[in-house]
């Protein structure tokens, strides 16, 4: 992920919910006609749906639902349907950390080991702000667990974050020197909230943020299979075009796990200007962008992205969890914002169309966010493939992989995972397919293969040694 997290590149975002209100009727009526046109492909009684709400000057101008929140029972999406926010949750814990600092319960410059002393002491100390700004150098939990027999849909538990970090031998980069989006960091933030407050994270968030803002339909999932009233069911479409449930089995907190409604998110957006919880300084601290040790400013603030949307200052974030997708966008200079919740990752992304409807006259024409400028890598000829064949072990992850030869090609194999073709990209570097990670072999003084380094998106530099 680049430094600029584009709000218009929400992968496979599905959008489906609206319900007009009497206020500003002429304006909302005109908007609704346009919205129905933009979302016509999802307005059906045979498919997953969504909710969308638009707010201006602290008032709900329009809010509407489309499609179904549950296919099995034909339950329609409504404005009080509850859905998983995914990473839109991150701004809430960013806000929580600022509140705790204002209360004198921690400093955002604290070494995280002050509150979590069981974590290892790395060469570069990690601060709370390093976690918040995604610049800690810690491993990303999703990518790393995928290396150790975790498959998409398997459960991840809150305690897995600390387990992962305790066994990390060195940082991926010196803390503060690089931005690399990371869910492990925000899980640790939730643990810090519990340590300094003496309360369970979900209770502290409810008592200090959700209830004071009257976000009474907002909750945090803390156990697998938890019953959440009026929650939408998560779906995805298979290759045959059939809908299937996608279970939200993870109980991670901080990085995600918040379930809410578009109505409650409207109350959250309103707090950006009303300061019902916190102050103007609290909100400004939330949206203060981070800096790297080389002085470079990043677009990421404390759980929220600060960017330019068609010439207007924008605060926002997107989210994905199981089949759920979410989006929150707010223009602080115009006191306008909208939110989207959906229960399926749809292929066509109408985000720009929605922004142009809601922010007409405020933002300029937006492109579709699609870039084709990335050149394709050319596969090179591999000589002596047998020299790479062998068994490799990661001491950090306690996992074995084998490199085997098949018809002159190399394959990375694991007993329980799929086999990955290794496409030679020159020298001792290979690209994994499917998956897209890279493996770079290293050699000993005699020139023989001694191991490899595995880079996989947000997890980089995982060492494997030759095992005989």
pLDDT in tens, 180-196: 999 999 999 999 999 99
As beta bridge partners, residue 264 has none
Average pLDDT, the chain: 88
Give the integer Cα–Cα distance in Å for 117 and 162.
11
* Closest to 467 in 3D by CA, of 396, 401, 404, 392: 392
DSSP summary character for residue 288 = P
% pLDDT > 70, the chain: 88
How high is the pLDDT of residue 375?
43
* Closest to 76 in 3D by CA, of 12, 18, 14, 13: 18
Delimit the CATH 3.40.710.10 region(s) of the chain. Answer: 9-370
Q: Is the pLDDT of residue 246 over 50?
A: yes
% pLDDT > 90, the chain: 71
Q: How confident is the model at residue 379 (pLDDT cuts 50, 70, 90)?
A: low
Q: Is the pLDDT of residue 145 over 60?
A: yes
Helix (H) or strand (E) holding 204: helix 201-205
Q: Is the pLDDT of residue 42 over 80?
A: no
Q: Is the pLDDT of residue 22 over 80?
A: no
Query: CATH for 9-370?
Result: 3.40.710.10
* Closest to 90 in 3D by CA, of 287, 205, 256, 257: 256
Q: Looking at the domain covering 385-467, what would its CATH class be?
A: mainly beta
Q: How confident is the model at residue 225 (pLDDT cuts 50, 70, 90)?
A: confident
Q: How confident is the model at residue 381 (pLDDT cuts 50, 70, 90)?
A: low
411-442 pLDDT, tens digit each: 999 888 778 999 999 889 999 988 779 999 99
Strand boundaries in 11-107, DSSP class E: 50-56, 59-66, 68-70, 75-76, 83-84
Give the integer Cα–Cα distance in Å for 142 and 445.
35
Delimit the CATH 2.40.128.50 region(s) of the chain. Answer: 385-467
Strand boundaries in 35-113, DSSP class E: 50-56, 59-66, 68-70, 75-76, 83-84
How high is the pLDDT of residue 108?
98
The least confident of 31-40, 104-113, 358-367 is 358-367
Q: Is the pLDDT of residue 2 over 80?
A: no
How high is the pLDDT of residue 23?
42
How high is the pLDDT of residue 275?
97
Give the integer Cα–Cα distance in Å for 151 and 145.
8
Residue that wins the pLDDT comparison between 382 and 442: 442
Q: Is the pLDDT of residue 30 over 60?
A: yes
296-354 pLDDT, tens digit each: 999 999 999 999 999 999 999 999 999 999 999 999 999 999 999 999 986 667 678 88
Mean pLDDT across 27-56: 86
């Amino acid at each position: 992920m680049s430094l600029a997290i584009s709000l218009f590149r929400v992968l496979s975002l599905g959008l489906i919910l609206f319900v007009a209100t009497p206020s500003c009727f002429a304006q909302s009526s005109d908007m609704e006609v346009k919205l129905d046109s933009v979302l016509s492909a999802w307005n059906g009684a045979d498919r997953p749906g969504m909710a969308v709400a638009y707010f201006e000057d602290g008032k709900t101008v329009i809010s509407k639902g489309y499609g179904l929140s549950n296919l099995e029972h034909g339950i329609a999406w409504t404005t009080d349907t509850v859905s998983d926010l995914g990473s839109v949750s991150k701004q809430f814990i960013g806000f929580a950390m600022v509140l705790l600092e204002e209360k004198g319960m921690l400093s955002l410059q604290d070494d995280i080991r002050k509150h979590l002393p069981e974590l290892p002491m790395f060469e570069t100390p990690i601060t709370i702000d390093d976690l918040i700004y995604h610049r800690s150098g810690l491993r990303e939990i999703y990518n790393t667990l995928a290396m150790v027999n975790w498959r998409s849909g398997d459960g991840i538990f809150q305690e897995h974050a600390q387990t992962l970090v305790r066994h990390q031998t060195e940082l991926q980069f010196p803390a503060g020197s690089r931005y690399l989006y990371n869910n492990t960091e925000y899980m640790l933030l939730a643990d810090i909230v519990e340590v300094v407050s003496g309360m369970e994270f979900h209770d502290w968030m409810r008592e200090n943020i959700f209830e004071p803002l009257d976000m009474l339909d907002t909750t945090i999932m803390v156990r697998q299979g938890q019953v959440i009233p009026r929650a939408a069911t998560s779906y995805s479409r298979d290759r045959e075009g059939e809908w299937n449930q996608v279970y939200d089995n993870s109980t991670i907190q901080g990085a995600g796990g918040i379930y809410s409604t578009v109505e409650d998110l409207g109350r959250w957006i309103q707090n950006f200007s009303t300061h019902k919880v916190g102050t103007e300084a609290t909100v400004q601290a939330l949206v203060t962008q981070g800096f790297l040790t080389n002085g470079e400013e990043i677009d990421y603030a404390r759980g929220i992205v600060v960017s330019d949307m068609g010439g207007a200052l924008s605060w926002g974030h997107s989210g994905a969890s199981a089949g759920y997708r979410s989006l929150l966008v707010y223009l602080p200079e115009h006191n306008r914002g909208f939110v989207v919740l959906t229960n399926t990752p749809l292929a066509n992304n109408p985000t720009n169309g929605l922004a142009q409807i809601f922010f007409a006259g405020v933002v300029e024409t937006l492109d579709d966010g699609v870039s084709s400028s990335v050149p394709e890598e050319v596969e090179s000829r591999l000589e002596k493939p047998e020299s790479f064949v062998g068994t490799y072990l990661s001491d950090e992850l306690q996992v074995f992989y084998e490199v085997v030869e098949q018809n002159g090609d190399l394959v990375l194999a694991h007993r329980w995972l799929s086999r990955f073709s290794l496409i030679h990209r020159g020298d001792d570097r290979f690209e994994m397919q499917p998956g897209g990670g890279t493996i770079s072999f290293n050699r000993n003084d005699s020139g023989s293969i001694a191991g490899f380094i595995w880079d996989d998106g947000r997890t980089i530099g995982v060492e494997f040694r030759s095992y005989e």
